[in-house]
Structure 1
Amino acid sequence: MADTTVVVVTWRGAEHVAACLDALAAQDRPHRTLVIDNASDDGTAELLAAHPSAPRVHRLPRNTGYAGALHAALSLVDTPLVAWLNDDAAPEPDWLGTLEDALRAAPGTAAAGSRLEYPDGSPQSLGVRLTADGHGADVRVSGETFGFCGGAALLRTDALRAAGGVPAEFFCYYEDTDTAWRLRLAGWSVRTVEPARVRHLHGASTRPGSRSFHRWNERNRLLMLLRCAPATVASTELARFAALTALLPLRRGVPGAPNFRFTLRLRVLGEVIVRLPAALRARRAVARRSTQGRGEVWRAWAGR
């Protein structure tokens, strides 16, 4: 009997989702495969229907992003474990079994991340660290990590639900670090299991470095801090972002990256302000579920 439902989120994944499903079909541990199709319009639906592994497919009426699709999937999962997997990722045959065994051996761990590799075998992510200013950053060397990379991870379903599920409003990026943070506040540990290896194309559905990429990253980092960080950290980082935005038109030598463009940062601030009441409600809900203090978690992990 399967202990895990592997959730594959796809959007216009016709060029790569078959390789992901092939890799899942080759796993040496029984599991269920649930594909959430974010209203693909490139033939993905027909490819999924014809794939020999016959995955369960749930098609959404619109593109809700990675976070929105994971949120939708959670209500469809009835196994004790749930895996998150990008549609451009191809796990090794022992990937799922390695993660399941790691969680089984560590009852206090709620989430186990994988070793994600670029196609040439070099490390892309061995987990996520929390920077001193509240960014989530990929770790590429062995060691303890604050969070997991959501491109390939295994979580305890009940723990995820009890911690508040997946923040659908994030669309994509930072839903994994936010989830890891809430799990830690709820008293769980999070770890990376390096022998669980996954080849990852990275950015097949989104374009890292694009305007949308930077918009989602900047916005969701601030929303995550408002939801999870100590109040002084959240307010300081929001004020710092706003102040830098206001000063940009007066500065010379501004970096050319999209996240330093005045109009993009104004849009981020507007979206954060619109979402502020919901973020504060979520903050109160996180506090009710927490067994660890926000300051305690921050001091233990920020800047490591």
Structure 2
Amino acid sequence: MTGPMTRSTIVVVTWRGKGHVSACLDAVAAQTRPHRLLVVDNASDDGTEEILAAHPARPEVLRLPTNTGYAGALAAVDRHAAVGTEFTAWLNDDAEPAPDWLAALEDALDQDEQAAAAGSRMAGLDGAVLSIGVGLTADGHGVDLVDEAAGPRPVFGFCGGAVLLRTEALRHAGGVPARFFCYYEDTDTAWRLRLANHTIVSVPTARVTHRHGASTQPGSRLFHLWNERNRLAMLIRCAPGGVAVREVARFAAITALLPLRRLARRPERRPGTPWNFRVRLRLRVLGELAGSLPQLLRERKAVTDLAEIPRSAVWRVARSLNSPG
């Protein structure tokens, strides 16, 4: 649905979404505000392409030649200059927004000119709240916040599965880190928006139902690999230098000590050991981090060049604002 007052482009990223993308597009089509709908298809090979072509919403489709992950797909949108609207919404293909979702987010950004992003209230199929925003722990882990409020509230970051951003603010902050593939691209983006002196709000009236894990496998080996690698990459890119060095060193030290701990001995042979405490996975994280360190340091300088306030000031905000630990 578009019109003369179309202010937002809703970007839906899909990969093998045959079983759920139609429900997402149905919900987008029911929005009460005019919008442009763009679907980025990460080279789906399960019939998703045919579903998109036949859907009555008639979305624009940007089909990528390979699966670039959630982060890569969002970055591709900007590379193709596909968004020309004031706002850009990110939406998972397994999410179903309420009809007034877009209206609530647009209104929230209209009411707070300093806010560059407005996050949603995401709930599971059982109604349990999954996220109203993202906080940071003392060691730089992003965590979903679930304590609800009556109205819009400040949060450090947003869940990238359903968020509305100011398009120019996003571009000025450097866009989306495509190399992350998936996980932490949203927290990294929020951090850079804050370094650019923007704020972020959570909008509890912007309700989304999320089929959590329909497109990924939370708890899997790849899930933990991407999480651990991208968290450390985000800290190198965005955090104060002392924090980044401390957390990389802590990760390496824990990795070195794991074989010496009786309960973690031969972790690959203990099926109950979480993937993120298995030595081989952690060594791969450190290897990938070492290989990309020159590029990460160049990216850190680029983030510094775009920043308008010190990293230390944003870290203090992160530690005081909606931080659970």
Please report the TM-score for the alignment, with normalisation by the length of structure 2.
Answer: 0.92
Task: Verify the 8 A CA contact 1:9 1:85 in the aligned structure 2.
Answer: yes
Which residue of the partner structure matches residue 47 of structure 1? Answer: 51
Range moving further from structure 2, 150-159 or 241-250: 241-250
Q: Shift of the alpha carbon at 1:302? A: 2.2
The alignment of Structure 1 onto Structure 2 pairs a total of residues equal to: 304
Which residue of the partner structure matches residue 274 of structure 1? Answer: 291
Distance 1:16 1:88 in 2: 6
Which residue of the partner structure matches residue 314 of structure 2? Answer: 297
| 5+ residue gaps, structure 2 | 265-271
Which of 151, 158, 183 is the matching residue for 2:161? 151
Paired letter, 1:191: V
| 5+ residue gaps, structure 1 | none
Task: Verify the 8 A CA contact 1:134 1:302 in the aligned structure 2.
Answer: no
Distance 2:39 2:54 in 1: 13
Paired letter, 1:156: R
Range moving further from structure 2, 245-254 or 116-125: 245-254
Q: Shift of the alpha carbon at 1:193? A: 0.5
Distance 1:70 1:302 in 2: 28
Which residue of the partner structure matches residue 59 of structure 1? Answer: 63
Q: Does 1:165 align with 2:166?
A: no
Q: Following superposition of structure 1 onto structure 2, how do residues 16-165 of structure 1 map, counting pairs within 5 Å?
A: 16-74=20-78, 75-142=81-148, 144-165=154-175
Which of 175, 188, 202 is the matching residue for 2:198? 188
Range moving further from structure 2, 280-289 or 135-144: 135-144
Which of 171, 176, 180 is the matching residue for 2:186? 176
Q: Shift of the alpha carbon at 1:289? A: 0.9
Q: Shift of the alpha carbon at 1:292? A: 1.1
Percent identity, aligned pairs only? 64
Q: Shift of the alpha carbon at 1:144? A: 3.5
Superposed CA offset, 1:205-241 (max 9, x none): 1100000000000000000000000000000100110
Task: Verify the 8 A CA contact 2:156 2:317 in the aligned structure 1.
Answer: no
Q: Following superposition of structure 1 onto structure 2, how do residues 241-280 of structure 1 map, counting pairs within 5 Å?
A: 241-254=251-264, 256-280=273-297
Which of 7, 13, 21 is the matching residue for 1:9? 13
Distance 1:274 1:90 in 2: 39
Which residue of the partner structure matches residue 203 of structure 1? Answer: 213
Superposed CA offset, 1:160-203 (max 9, x none): 00000000000000000000000000000011001000000011
Paired letter, 1:291: E
Query: How much is the aligned-residue C-alpha RMSD, in angstroms?
Result: 0.9
Task: Verify the 8 A CA contact 2:11 2:40 in the aligned structure 1.
Answer: yes
Superposed CA offset, 1:262-297 (max 9, x none): 110011111111111111111111111111111111
Distance 1:218 1:242 in 2: 12
Distance 1:191 1:87 in 2: 23
Please report the TM-score for the alignment, with normalisation by the length of structure 1.
Answer: 0.98
Range moving further from structure 2, 224-233 or 134-143: 134-143
Distance 1:51 1:76 in 2: 20
Distance 1:128 1:91 in 2: 19
Distance 2:317 2:71 in 1: 27
Distance 1:252 1:76 in 2: 54
Which residue of the partner structure matches residue 267 of structure 2? Answer: none
**Residue aligned with 1:265, SS:** helix
